[in-house]
Structure 1
Amino acid sequence: MALKFPIIFLLPANLEADELHELENQIPTLTFDINEAEIVLGKIGRKQRALFELRKHKLATEEVASSKDEADSPRRKRARTGPHSDAISDTASDDTGSDGEAAGDPALITVVKLAWFEDSLKADKVLPLDEYMVYRGRKVSAAPSTPSTPVKLPATPSQRAEDILKRAMADSGSSPLSQRSSYGPGRRGGEPSHRPAKPALLRQSTTEHDIDVHLPPIPEYLHTTYSCQRPTPTHPPNELFIEQLIKIRTARTLTGDKIGVRAYSSAIATLSAYPYTLSSAQEVARLPGCGAKIALLFQEFKESGSVQEAKEDESDPKLAVLKLFYEIWGVAETTAREFYNKGWRDMDDIIEYGWDGLTRVQQIGVKYHDEFQLKIPRPEVEAISNTILQYANKIRKGFQMVIVGGYRRGKLESGDVDVVLSHPDDSATHNFVERIVVSLEQDKYITHTLTLSTKNSERGQLPVSWKGNEKKAGTGFDTLDKALVVWQDPKWTTGEPKNPNPHRRVDIIISPWKTAGCAVLGWTSGTTFQRDLRRYCKKERSLKFDSSGIRSRVDGSSVDLESGPDGKPAPDMLTAERRVFAGLELEYRPPEERCTG
């Protein structure tokens, strides 16, 4: 049975991204609003740091005595450490119940060490807080007040959220606090929202209540935190609602809210894998990674056909400018914000005031921005890919190719073209990327080379090494030899003097045969699928997955999952990919079921 933890806010300080994400998935009562929390959990050990983190998250508190201190005193005393002490009751509730589980007063906030949560999981019970407590305070209004003014304490989690969760958990036979993320994705630790939160009311008709009693069962595969273990189709039943959430996630990306982006990504991945058409907010609230926040957004979508936050994001003039800059190839969201903060509002401003300060890649991105926004239909993707394969085999016969990316996941139109080339002879792929780029440039197919990487050849075409838990910057999702280029078909039949064919973005990836299955798997799957595949390998298999191959996290050795039982290599790249799934003890998911976004 799930442990009944208090509502927990997790501090991102001192946590690596993977560790933070893993903890978020483990905490069943996670909130992204510190004002709703009873427990603040963090990798900290000193009261001064706890106070700093509370101030950083704009939560004002007065220190109160711990339960141990109170037990040692013949009479509980009111805390006198703040200006509101006269307004605070002499009586305080214990934060531990007779069974040792944390329970408590929503006006209190307790900062505890991360070890409390980890030890509770190991003990299979919620442990008392005293040994782990760093600081305990009473939430107070941030605004100053006189002793005679009643203190305005933060509201407890809203009744509508409790109502949603109680009804949803009643359907699944669980406690309201036994599901992850009770309050869903929100802004935490980043810049505040550009608009105040709007109160929402959940209305439920008798008909909807009848539906809630007969909700479809949650598929077993949705109980895992790894989207690589779920079938996620190209067009899920709730696609229109998911599109609204994607718009909100984009806004969070543009404003630098990384925690919100990850939270929305998890909710989107869950909803994309849910095989039934949603009928009520309660049905949403019970799903892992969603909770009351997403449920309320669905209620709004069901009633109006849209989500107000998504509509406001689309009409926000600042976000519109940030989105325009973010669409420039070579401009990340941080650079987009830098451009905006310089006072630039359109492409003309970039060209007039900042052209000389742009990198060469960014200049190319500005020059061909409008053309890069044009979608590429499947027949053209195939034509470009076949030309690349033709040129590869002119240089060295025997090359095979798989078109990856959105095309392989079934998209009718793609933003760019991604192909993986490989050859049964490893000597053929060594430094091959340079040769094929030169050949395609000579015949005018490649007009610009944005990035040319030979790191895999420099490593002897071996998987990226693993050096303990040392963080290596810049490795990203992929370290194969690759060329990211601008492509234009040099042939045209019209009488125009200048080539009218649009410029396209094309990625040519070269993989040695022994790890081609990893390359195809890594470059085919959606972003969340890839992220969770790496988490799964790390947590469940003690492996490091990379598109260049697999390493053991125990001794750093290379792990071959692509050779057959007889030691012979796979006969083709798709067979190699299936063998990687099998070797990782994952059910094979066809590309059309890896559309996690």
Structure 2
Amino acid sequence: MPSCSDIAGTSFYVLTLLTKQKDVRTGFPPIYLLPTHIDPDQLPELQSQIPSLTYDIGEAEVVLGKISKKQRALFELRRLKIATEEVHGEGSSHPPPAKRRRLSSNDALPVDVSSTASDGDDDQPKKGVVQVVKLSWFTDSVSRGEILPLDDYLVYRGHRLSDQHTKAIPPHSADIPRSAKEDPREPPTAKRDTLPRGHSLDPHHTMTAAPLKRPALIQETTSEHEIKKHLPPIPNFLHTRYSCQRPTLSDPPNSAFLEQLKEIRTTRALLGDNVGVRAYSTCIAAVAAYPYLLSHRGEVDHLPGCGAKITSLFQEWKTNGCVEEVEKAKLDAQLSVLRLFYEIWGVGETTAQEFYKRGWRDLDDIVEYGWDQLSRVQQIGVKYYDEFLLRIPRAEVKSIADVILEHASRIRTGYEMVIVGGYRRGKSQSGDVDVVVSHRDPAATLFFIDKLADALAHSGHITHILAISTRNSERGQAPLPWKGEGRQPGSGFDTLDKALVVWQDPEWDKSAAARNPNPHRRVDIIIAPWKTVGCAVVGWTSATTFQRDLRRYCKTEKRLKFDSSGVRSRTDGSWVDLETGPDGAPAPDMLTAEQRVFKGLGLEWRPPEERNTG
């Protein structure tokens, strides 16, 4: 796909040709240009080259974008409040395209739209149809001097709908751990309040409350214009593309508004809208990094990833103290059940929807009607559902980590450990406990996770092993091999040796209680070889969006493949050693190793407390 710099090379030809036309719009149909993935500095020049450009998406027949996937096209249309239903049949079989017209300085620029017509004798797109096409359609037409058919560049074609509701994107499969060593104990028996039975999951589910009202047109008064002039400037770090380039604190000034955005993101996840989840994650990271209390919609509009939709939500929240979409989701019976299932450890959005389709409406339904159909991990997730939702105070996180290091040191001296996850980012409470354990001797970390998990199980601290992996040891503790751009997904965000376990403090006052009253906790123990321990600490410390953007940054800007087991070149697959010092010596400690990873990737150092991207 041509870049904007490629487009610039044809600028003189295009502008010379177009300036000779009395009415250039008689050639191209009305075109709306999506700014997605286009350099902001080059966008104005590109806009000036499109003869029939319109800034009103409602009147556009062609939506031009630097995109190639239908799912992305649907997301962009939804973001612009254009509801459509995909055209089936019409886009699969077309009459022969009309003969292409050669451009000359005396001709307007006609567009061959015969492939979009409903029958062979109609040269115009079907009324009410919106077409999303690749940007290369326009650039190729210009460079070849003739209008090319749309079909070769079509991403999506759909009928416009009068209402504003869109169908949910089909969900992807959830990744549920499978390996385990013990059978769960007896199923839980505690009853919970139930919701009405007898309903099946509607794949095109919309909230049961009334549809949201279209927000009123926002008008800017003279006083508001003056207010905008005195708003704080957007910090330079917020002009960056990736959240891993910004400081993001754990207690941002706009936390109340962020909670509303996170609720909407969760709803998108429950409905399987993965594109929406990523989009909201991007804007959440931007708002979380903004160091001032938002006071005006103009501030929101200038944040990366925050367009008209987020601006509208902020204005609604600022005016009403809540967001209607969030409030209606709380009252939606189906979403409430999906959220209940989604919070079971080992259950993703796909499995939650499958549970709903089976007619289950609460945990008791799962136990009564589907216990034997669950994986062992899901059974444990149901059994300890309430306990796993309890937050873990920092003091307890530290206590659990100390026990892990103590047992490691009993096996062999010299092990070092760092507590990662939300604890290291400064959170007052954590959902689980994550620790990275390493040793300067490579032989000490090889298959060590089996020994450590076995020791902790014998001491009574580990009650269940949910999953255990020795993939890193099995390949000789080398960084994950890079198999090229065409490799199949599914390797996860790292392939280090690890044990995902259920933990319970085995000590309690037996005179006060016959059974252990200490809550069961989720604990992840990660083993990393010293030569790449910095990558492990970076990967397991940083929040989800920070991790995602770090990988995108490495891929796009550095042609590298980042993994918590190490960094590989995307050019030749070789290991890129970022942690060995200039003198050839390994890092003296885990923090130094982590700092060297940032430096080696060309990133400004961000301490853990600044990686809370939400």
TM-score by length of 1: 0.77
Q: Quick check: 1:356 aligned with 2:368?
A: no
Q: Quick check: 1:505 aligned with 2:487?
A: no
Q: C-alpha displacement at 1:366, in angstroms?
A: 0.5
1:270 maps to what in 2?
286
* Aligned match for 1:575, one of 592, 599, 612: 592
Equivalent AA in structure 2 for residue 38 of structure 1: V
Q: C-alpha displacement at 1:133, in angstroms?
A: 3.1
2:573 maps to what in 1?
556
Within 5 A, what are the aligned runs for 1:197-236?
A: 197-201=212-216, 202-204=218-220, 206-236=222-252
Within 5 A, what are the aligned runs for 1:50-199?
A: 57-58=85-86, 109-113=130-134, 115-116=136-137, 130-131=147-148, 133-134=150-151, 194-195=206-207, 196-199=211-214
* Aligned match for 2:399, one of 383, 392, 405: 383
2:197 maps to what in 1?
none
Within 5 A, what are the aligned runs for 1:462-501?
A: 462-493=478-509, 495-501=512-518
Deviates more, 1:349-358 or 1:216-225: 216-225
Q: Quick check: 1:595 aligned with 2:612?
A: yes
1:534 maps to what in 2?
551
TM-aligned CA distance change 1:154 to 1:437, over 3 Å: closer
Distance in 2 (CA, whole Å) between partners of 1:336 and 1:544 is 32
2:273 maps to what in 1?
257
- 8 Å Cα contact 1:331-1:362 kept in structure 2: yes
1:103 maps to what in 2?
none
Equivalent AA in structure 1 for residue 550 of structure 2: L
Q: C-alpha displacement at 1:312, in angstroms?
A: 1.1
- 8 Å Cα contact 2:85-2:158 kept in structure 1: no
TM-aligned CA distance change 1:204 to 1:443, over 3 Å: same
- 8 Å Cα contact 2:480-2:563 kept in structure 1: yes
SS of residue matched to 1:439? helix
Distance in 2 (CA, whole Å) between partners of 1:490 and 1:140 is 61
Distance in 1 (CA, whole Å) between partners of 2:480 and 2:158 is 52
Distance in 2 (CA, whole Å) between partners of 1:112 and 1:346 is 45
Q: C-alpha displacement at 1:68, in angstroms?
A: 5.6
Q: Quick check: 1:412 aligned with 2:410?
A: no
Deviates more, 1:551-560 or 1:74-83: 74-83
Equivalent AA in structure 1 for residue 497 of structure 2: D
Equivalent AA in structure 2 for residue 274 of structure 1: Y
* Aligned match for 1:38, one of 55, 63, 69: 63
Distance in 2 (CA, whole Å) between partners of 1:136 and 1:462 is 42
1:519 maps to what in 2?
536
1:150-209 deviation line (CA, Å, top 9, x unaligned): xxx889xx9xxxxxxxxxxxxxxxxxxxxxxxxxxx978557671444200125455433
Equivalent AA in structure 2 for residue 447 of structure 1: T
Distance in 1 (CA, whole Å) between partners of 2:286 and 2:406 is 40
Distance in 2 (CA, whole Å) between partners of 1:561 and 1:318 is 48
Q: C-alpha displacement at 1:295, in angstroms?
A: 0.4
Equivalent AA in structure 2 for residue 304 of structure 1: N
Q: C-alpha displacement at 1:128, in angstroms?
A: 8.4
TM-aligned CA distance change 1:360 to 1:83, over 3 Å: closer
SS of residue matched to 1:451? strand
Q: C-alpha displacement at 1:542, in angstroms?
A: 1.2
- 8 Å Cα contact 1:377-1:413 kept in structure 2: yes
Unpaired runs of 5+ residues, structure 2, are: 9-29, 48-54, 71-81, 171-202
2:336 maps to what in 1?
320
TM-aligned CA distance change 1:312 to 1:562, over 3 Å: same
TM-aligned CA distance change 1:109 to 1:130, over 3 Å: farther
Equivalent AA in structure 2 for residue 199 of structure 1: R
TM-aligned CA distance change 1:141 to 1:501, over 3 Å: closer
Equivalent AA in structure 1 for residue 611 of structure 2: R
1:250-302 deviation line (CA, Å, top 9, x unaligned): 00000000111111111111111112221222221222211111100000000
Distance in 1 (CA, whole Å) between partners of 2:353 and 2:267 is 12
Distance in 2 (CA, whole Å) between partners of 1:66 and 1:215 is 54
Equivalent AA in structure 2 for residue 532 of structure 1: D
Q: C-alpha displacement at 1:219, in angstroms?
A: 2.0
Equivalent AA in structure 2 for residue 244 of structure 1: Q
* Aligned match for 1:369, one of 385, 400, 407: 385
Q: C-alpha displacement at 1:134, in angstroms?
A: 2.5
Distance in 2 (CA, whole Å) between partners of 1:482 and 1:469 is 26
Distance in 2 (CA, whole Å) between partners of 1:251 and 1:577 is 35
- 8 Å Cα contact 1:422-1:513 kept in structure 2: yes
Equivalent AA in structure 2 for residue 385 of structure 1: A
SS of residue matched to 1:329? coil
Distance in 1 (CA, whole Å) between partners of 2:303 and 2:579 is 35
Equivalent AA in structure 2 for residue 424 of structure 1: R
Q: C-alpha displacement at 1:348, in angstroms?
A: 0.5
- 8 Å Cα contact 1:484-1:505 kept in structure 2: yes
Distance in 2 (CA, whole Å) between partners of 1:194 and 1:589 is 41
- 8 Å Cα contact 1:361-1:450 kept in structure 2: yes
Q: C-alpha displacement at 1:246, in angstroms?
A: 0.3
SS of residue matched to 1:7? strand
1:464-490 deviation line (CA, Å, top 9, x unaligned): 000111323321111000000000000
- 8 Å Cα contact 1:550-1:558 kept in structure 2: yes
Distance in 2 (CA, whole Å) between partners of 1:34 and 1:385 is 57
* Aligned match for 1:7, one of 32, 38, 44: 32
Deviates more, 1:535-544 or 1:192-201: 192-201
- 8 Å Cα contact 2:100-2:148 kept in structure 1: no
1:69-109 deviation line (CA, Å, top 9, x unaligned): 598999999999978999x9x9x99xxxxxxxxxxxx9774
1:561-581 deviation line (CA, Å, top 9, x unaligned): 101110100111111000000
Distance in 2 (CA, whole Å) between partners of 1:251 and 1:24 is 31
Distance in 1 (CA, whole Å) between partners of 2:378 and 2:129 is 50
- 8 Å Cα contact 1:404-1:524 kept in structure 2: yes
Equivalent AA in structure 1 for residue 269 of structure 2: T
Equivalent AA in structure 1 for residue 372 of structure 2: D
Equivalent AA in structure 2 for residue 194 of structure 1: T
- 8 Å Cα contact 2:102-2:146 kept in structure 1: no
Equivalent AA in structure 1 for residue 240 of structure 2: T
Q: C-alpha displacement at 1:41, in angstroms?
A: 6.0
SS of residue matched to 2:435? strand
1:284-337 deviation line (CA, Å, top 9, x unaligned): 122221111110000000001111101111221111111110111111110000
1:297 maps to what in 2?
313
Deviates more, 1:303-312 or 1:244-253: 303-312
Aligned residues: 520
Distance in 2 (CA, whole Å) between partners of 1:572 and 1:228 is 23
Distance in 1 (CA, whole Å) between partners of 2:264 and 2:610 is 24
TM-score by length of 2: 0.75
Distance in 2 (CA, whole Å) between partners of 1:78 and 1:129 is 10
- State, as a whole percentage, how many aligned pairs show the same letter: 53
Equivalent AA in structure 1 for residue 133 of structure 2: V
Equivalent AA in structure 2 for residue 198 of structure 1: K
Distance in 1 (CA, whole Å) between partners of 2:534 and 2:594 is 4
